[in-house]
Amino acid sequence: GGFGGKTHVWAEPVALALSRKAGRPVKLVMTRDEVFRASGPTSATSIDVKIGARKDGTITAAEATLRYSAGPYAGSWAEIGAMTAFACYKLDNVKTVGFEVLVNRPKTAAYRAPSAPMAAFAVESAVDELAKELGMDPVEFRIKNAAQEGTRSSYG
């Protein structure tokens, strides 16, 4: 994938038409504000996370329900959010469910890593709270439960 701003294919045909008319290359330059206006808003998100662990810090179960606003048409990135929510953890009992919610709002658009930052923020916030409740260093808690090569993910 590309890096930087993302836009839909609405601006490029204008540059193409101008280039053909002028017989010369045309460069399309957009400010950061114009990129945001051209691409659309990111998904509003609501995420519920539950994580259980033993007193020694071993995670025993985890669950996340992720809801991503898609605007008026299907096509949010709820599946990607559900796939990435617990991707870095070794979990024997895990459930992730992602929903895209159609709403009477503008169509959502991708920015860097669509839907993953929201899922990661929700899960990592819950991990921080659980580590604190267990009296463990949050980094040590993560290392103890980290996925390793060969760990099966929540989505297979």
The bridge status of strand 94-102 relative to strand 59-71 is parallel
Domains of the chain and CATH, by start = 1-39 (no CATH), 45-144 (3.30.365.10)
pLDDT of residue 8: 60
Burial of 19 by CB count in 10 Å (0-12 exposed, 13-18 middle, 19+ buried)?
A: middle
Asked if residue 64 lies in contact with residue 47, where contact means CB atoms within 8 angstroms, the answer is yes
Amino acid sitting at position 107: K
**pLDDT-based confidence at residue 1 (cuts at 50, 70, 90):** very low
Predicted confidence at residue 38, as pLDDT, reads: 72
**pLDDT tens profile 66-107:** 999 988 988 778 898 999 999 999 999 999 999 999 999 887
pLDDT digits (tens, 9 = 90+) for 4-58: 555 565 778 888 999 999 999 998 888 888 877 777 777 889 999 999 999 999 9
The three-state DSSP-derived secondary structure of 74-113 is CCCCHHHHHHHCCCCECCCCEEEEEEEEECCCCCCCCCCC
DSSP state of 146: B
Q: Which two tokens stand for residue 98?
A: 């992602």
Residue 144, pLDDT score = 98
Q: What is the mean pLDDT of residues 107-114?
A: 74
Helix (H, G, I), strand (E, B) or coil at 127: helix
